[in-house]
Structure 1
């Protein structure tokens, strides 16, 4: 049965290809959505860029016919721009609100479909606005979130698996440094496996699935990795450092709550590989510019002075690392490193169009990015570049994104199984006892 989908503006701004995601069904773009796209198109942020892309896409459909009458989409459906209709909403709905204008069109279409004797089409509002979905349901209109890019976060790949096995398998791993993959279960390249004896003893071993195509697990080295004086404080940090220092991996993703050490160890390994070992030409640290709470408005100064406010976490960690090497000179040493040109602090806003070969690239706070923005950033990576993406899906400050639809979790899910990708999910907070309590209780 064909359906009628009425799209909200936020769906098109979230995914510029959303109009091609509804197969052979009828897609309605209310005229109020066009008005909102027109308002957004002058913005210099990602929403403005997406609004311009969607407007050009809608304009290209005009070559196929009149949008007011409906034109075919590439996926076999039809696309129509629906003009404003006489108000049929019940008393209590403010008609001059954009959301209620979309709701009024959907409700009018629903009433029209109900008069048909045959071939009635269900009318569905697609929006990322929770309140609009609630109002739709109150009117008896089916409402859906746009979930083509959503990931089941509770089942997100963690990069680590625990396996109970015979003690002989653990003995063989220590003796031969490698054992075949366990027969039961699904495992991915560069996944860490914690073997535990099933005979009640405390015998255990940690290995890592190979990425050379052979179905085996290699014993993890007994020597802990060290980068810029930083040693891992728990097994998850150990796993992360193993991946970060592995030249065979082009991309590493780290997911975890605040205070688990994601940014610190990533920055430490980046400085080690760039400044000390000169494996990479430069360390590039990117962060999304999304305020927590109310925005304080425009900031004075140069680009670097503006970014200093947003990049406080990066500067703090760099000063901490520099101070470990040069006690009492942390801030001065950190400033010297930044002035050397070997380290660049960049805003994700200004990364479009760049090509970054032979760089160690850190994308911090990636939970605030959409899947499309994540794709834009990763396609900047040139030959020989290593990209590390970190974030906490429970600390999202961007409207219409959640733990299941942000670019970080989308990336982890899509890249698992790639031999040049490694991932670790952190669970233990090391910043302080208070930070640990806050991450679990609040």
Structure 2
């Protein structure tokens, strides 16, 4: 490979906070860390923000590389030899020594120094491509405006290019299902009917993907995939539509599929996506109460969600951890009230159920290091989590635990995430072939006609 084929990637601070081991992701290319990035990591590592741990991990990773090299070698670049695929080098650029070439937004001095470093390298290392990698959308715009030729997002954990290609967890066959089937082998076992068919018409298909049709009442779920054939478990659509949990029945076939996955003891992870008002939280909460209180399958219900500014603000709210979490978990408490609105005393019912089901409201910050056993875990608003945060929570789940992750990719509040880089998208793609998980995209808004009109027209 010629030297001009090797790119120089300059990493912004948010890349190392998003993925502390990101320095190993650039394979045969060279990585440059501006000194300003190290200074920002240093400030963050001692803060009370939840990214402080990621800053410390990134600093340790850099220290492991540079601990016994000379200043000259750090400037020139040393090989990245931890990973056999990473044959490039890594260096630290003393950007505070550079003569300013770009100045704007004086309150963003750190960003300006990083931009100056990129422009300096772009001029000095030409014709080698110099690429600024940042998750900050506005930083990418400012870089282009300042004359940086190559600016990219960090895409190593991006599995799809467009969210429209994200699997919905079901496929709808045209017409009547059986009219398009030439050959089938059916058998009954354990009270269920299974159909073995040719796989090709269903591709791409995945374990636990639902199959419905347009003109008849057919509904099924992919049970097994063996080479060129697949086996469907026949589910009666009528029975699915009349299934009840905590006095809640599905309002459409999409909610019925979600209920089927939520109430199935063999599915450990259920991912619910869909628009606001499609019923994600209500279905999950109804299933949690049914399985915990009525069926005694779980000892407790743990409710948690991402709270973007909780690192700074949780300490100033009064009360216990659960009381501090309540402002962020209002969606869940609203759902509990909706499930018991017809009770003689709603407030008394809520208190009784919270005690009976042992409902616990937990901060996502305090999930690390725990091992959750025999619990129904509801992780709400997943679209604001990164892939590493999703991994942190799912790896907490021990024996006898079921986790439901719900989110709406149209309501991302994070500064750095987009629908294609959200941890929710990453999780859907990574788990689609896992036999212990199911994913359902809930079409339609059932909250109210007002909410439905707003979702479609605003």
Question: How does the TM-score come out when normalised to structure 2?
Answer: 0.87
Match of 1:407 in 2: 423
- Residue 167 of structure 1, CA deviation: 2.2
In the TM superposition, 1:254-273 aligns within 5 A as 254-273=272-291
Query: Of the candidates 131, 137, 146, which is equivalent to residue 124 of structure 1?
Result: 131
Tell me how far apart the structure 1 counterparts of residues 315 and 457 of structure 2 sit (CA, whole Å).
32
Pair 1:159–1:173, CA change in 2 (3 A): farther
Tell me how far apart the structure 1 counterparts of residues 259 and 103 of structure 2 sit (CA, whole Å).
60
Match of 2:406 in 1: 390
Tell me how far apart the structure 1 counterparts of residues 255 and 220 of structure 2 sit (CA, whole Å).
15
Number of residue pairs matched?
429
Tell me how far apart the structure 1 counterparts of residues 306 and 122 of structure 2 sit (CA, whole Å).
41
Pair 1:4–1:299, CA change in 2 (3 A): same
Query: Of the candidates 77, 88, 109, which is equivalent to residue 70 of structure 1?
Result: 77
The question of 1:15 aligning with 2:19 is answered yes
Match of 1:371 in 2: 387
Pair 1:417–1:353, CA change in 2 (3 A): same
Tell me how far apart the structure 1 counterparts of residues 393 and 180 of structure 2 sit (CA, whole Å).
46
Match of 1:228 in 2: 246
Task: Tell whether the 8 Å contact from 2:272 to 2:280 is kept in structure 1 after alignment.
Answer: yes
Pair 1:111–1:239, CA change in 2 (3 A): same
Match of 2:115 in 1: 103
Gaps of 5+ in 2: none
Tell me how far apart the structure 1 counterparts of residues 455 and 313 of structure 2 sit (CA, whole Å).
24
Match of 1:199 in 2: none
Pair 1:45–1:339, CA change in 2 (3 A): farther
Query: Of the candidates 44, 47, 54, which is equivalent to residue 50 of structure 1?
Result: 54
Tell me how far apart the structure 2 counterparts of residues 337 and 217 of structure 1 sit (CA, whole Å).
37
Match of 1:207 in 2: 220
The question of 1:247 aligning with 2:247 is answered no
The question of 1:183 aligning with 2:200 is answered yes
In the TM superposition, 1:205-354 aligns within 5 A as 205-211=218-224, 215-221=230-236, 222-223=238-239, 224-290=242-308, 298-324=316-342, 327-340=343-356, 342-354=358-370
Equivalent residue of 1:381, what SS? coil
Task: Tell whether the 8 Å contact from 1:174 to 1:219 is kept in structure 2 after alignment.
Answer: no
Tell me how far apart the structure 1 counterparts of residues 358 and 225 of structure 2 sit (CA, whole Å).
33
Instruction: Give a deviation string over 1:85-118, Cα, whole Å, max 9, x none.
Output: 323425657597111100111111111123xxxx
Tell me how far apart the structure 1 counterparts of residues 347 and 404 of structure 2 sit (CA, whole Å).
24
Task: Tell whether the 8 Å contact from 2:382 to 2:407 is kept in structure 1 after alignment.
Answer: yes
Pair 1:277–1:100, CA change in 2 (3 A): same
RMSD over equivalenced CA pairs, Å: 2.6
Instruction: Give a deviation string over 1:345-400, Cα, whole Å, max 9, x none.
Output: 11111111110111111111111111000000000000121111001111111110
Question: How does the TM-score come out when normalised to structure 1?
Answer: 0.90
Query: Of the candidates 125, 142, 166, which is equivalent to residue 135 of structure 1?
Result: 142
Tell me how far apart the structure 2 counterparts of residues 263 and 2 of structure 1 sit (CA, whole Å).
48
Pair 1:376–1:95, CA change in 2 (3 A): closer
Tell me how far apart the structure 1 counterparts of residues 154 and 58 of structure 2 sit (CA, whole Å).
16
In the TM superposition, 1:162-181 aligns within 5 A as 162-164=172-174, 167=179, 169=181, 177-179=193-195, 180-181=197-198
- Residue 194 of structure 1, CA deviation: 1.5
Task: Tell whether the 8 Å contact from 1:69 to 1:80 is kept in structure 2 after alignment.
Answer: yes
- Residue 182 of structure 1, CA deviation: 4.8
